[in-house]
Structure 1
Amino acid sequence: MFYDTRIGDHGLPHNPFKACVVPRPIGWITSVNEAGQVNLAPYSFFNGVAGDPPVVMFAPGGRKADGPPDGSKDSLANVERMKEFVCNVVTWDLREAMNQTSAPAPAGVDEAAVVGLEMLPSTLVKPPRVKASPIHMECRYLQTVDLPSDDPSARNAVVFGQVIGIHIDESVLSDGLVDMAKLKPIARLGYMDYTRVDEVFAMSRPSWPISQDAAD
């Protein structure tokens, strides 16, 4: 099948786009507003985009009905104003709590407190960390890129942040490496589906020229 995304006539029960870009890691973003109120929200349009220095992005698309006039979600508004955020890695054990924090709570609500998550102070930034998450990335805001939006009343933004500090619980390390079998991260698939990292395999990067044996 083929469909023109500008028209959207795919003829399927649900838009398949998000099921075609998988799996997507989940950025569980902690931010604070000017009053110090904490916001915790998950975003599946999230990833690392650079390594030197380390940079991550998350895309808080969609509209928040009771938010600013431009429809910005709390995470976007907070990060642009306060210039900091924390990304907490979502694991299998945290899946239900993460999902609960995706509810469209009114502005100013502390989702972490509502779902009973204990928070820890960060080292370099003001937003706190989710204690139960084994990896936290403290980030300094770099910039926002506004993309075209199909909803003229809402921003379609991508936020970039430089990772300036990383916390890793030693319980997820093996021989000095982050052990995915211990970490058990989850990722977003299409629709309401998720996946858990259960199988890991390694492949060495080939040298050049590539041998026919390697290609086969």
Structure 2
Amino acid sequence: MEWPVATLSPSEKYNLITDCVVPRPIAWVSSIDAAGKINIAPFSYFNIVSSDPMIVSLSVNRRMANEGENEQKDTALNLQQTGDCVIHIPSHDHAPAVHATGSGIPPSQEQIDALGLQFSPSQQVKTPRLENCGVALEGRFLQQIAIGNPVVADLILVEIVHIYAADDLLHKGRVHPEPYAINANKRN
């Protein structure tokens, strides 16, 4: 079967590309705004760009605003304003909280508290990391690329400056989170 992309609806395009590009890991990204308020949100459009320098990409879709313009989501704004984030690789145990933080409601300390999320200071960035997440990549904002006309997403490049991995994910000096991590193609 073949699909001329120009003939597909937005939902058909989404289903087809997400079915083809597998597996897609879930990034659970914490960031802070200019006032220091923590935001955490999941992203399935996340991957490695380069290993030296160590760069990853996040694609943050925009949301429709009241005026009909697409506006940036909190993670994209926070990265541009404060310059850093922590990208976590969530486990299957985190799935309910990951789903809840992707609900689109404004970030709040009440949501973080209700989900039982605990944060610890990071080593190289201002944004804190989740305490009970097995992998955390501390990163600094590198570049943002607006996608589409009108803009529908922000492709963000993040340089990783520090990595945390739980001891139970180490085997022969290497990190092995695959059985632990959730990805967008598994129905959790």
Instruction: Identify the TM-score tier after normalising by the shorter chain.
Output: 0.7 to 0.9
User: What's the counterpart of residue 31 of structure 2?
Assistant: 31
- CA offset digits 1:180-205 (Å, max 9, x no partner): 46x6111112xxx447xxxxxxxxxx
User: Match for 2:155 among 147, 155, 158?
Assistant: 158
Matched, 1:184 2:180: yes
Query: Relative to structure 1, is the Cα distance of residues 3 and 130 closer, same or farther in structure 2, using a 3 angstrom cutoff?
Result: same
Distance 2:7 2:62 in 1: 19
Q: In the alignment, is the contact (CA less than 8 A) between 1:124 and 1:165 conserved in 2?
A: yes
Distance 1:30 1:74 in 2: 10
User: What's the counterpart of residue 206 of structure 1?
Assistant: none
Query: Relative to structure 1, is the Cα distance of residues 64 and 81 closer, same or farther in structure 2, using a 3 angstrom cutoff?
Result: farther
Distance 2:120 2:147 in 1: 34
- The TM-score, its normalising length taken from structure 1, stands at 0.77
Matched, 1:144 2:141: no
- CA offset digits 1:63-113 (Å, max 9, x no partner): 1647xx75100000110111111101111121111111111112x424433
- The CA deviation at 1:9 is 5.1
Identity rate, percent: 28
Unmatched runs of 5 consecutive residues or more in structure 2: none
Distance 1:11 1:138 in 2: 33
Unmatched runs of 5 consecutive residues or more in structure 1: 196-216
User: What's the counterpart of residue 169 of structure 1?
Assistant: 166
User: What's the counterpart of residue 109 of structure 1?
Assistant: 108
- CA offset digits 1:13-32 (Å, max 9, x no partner): x8322111111011111100
Distance 1:71 1:10 in 2: 19
Distance 1:33 1:11 in 2: 32
Distance 1:9 1:121 in 2: 44
Distance 1:159 1:114 in 2: 29
Amino acid of the structure 2 residue aligned with 1:175: K
| Count of residues paired in the alignment | 184
Amino acid of the structure 1 residue aligned with 2:170: L
- CA offset digits 1:3-59 (Å, max 9, x no partner): 2222315997x8322111111011111100011110000000001110011111100
RMSD over equivalenced CA pairs, Å = 2.4
Distance 1:144 1:36 in 2: 21
Answer 1 or 2: higher relative contact order, Cα 8 Å, separation at least 6.
2
User: What's the counterpart of residue 59 of structure 1?
Assistant: 59
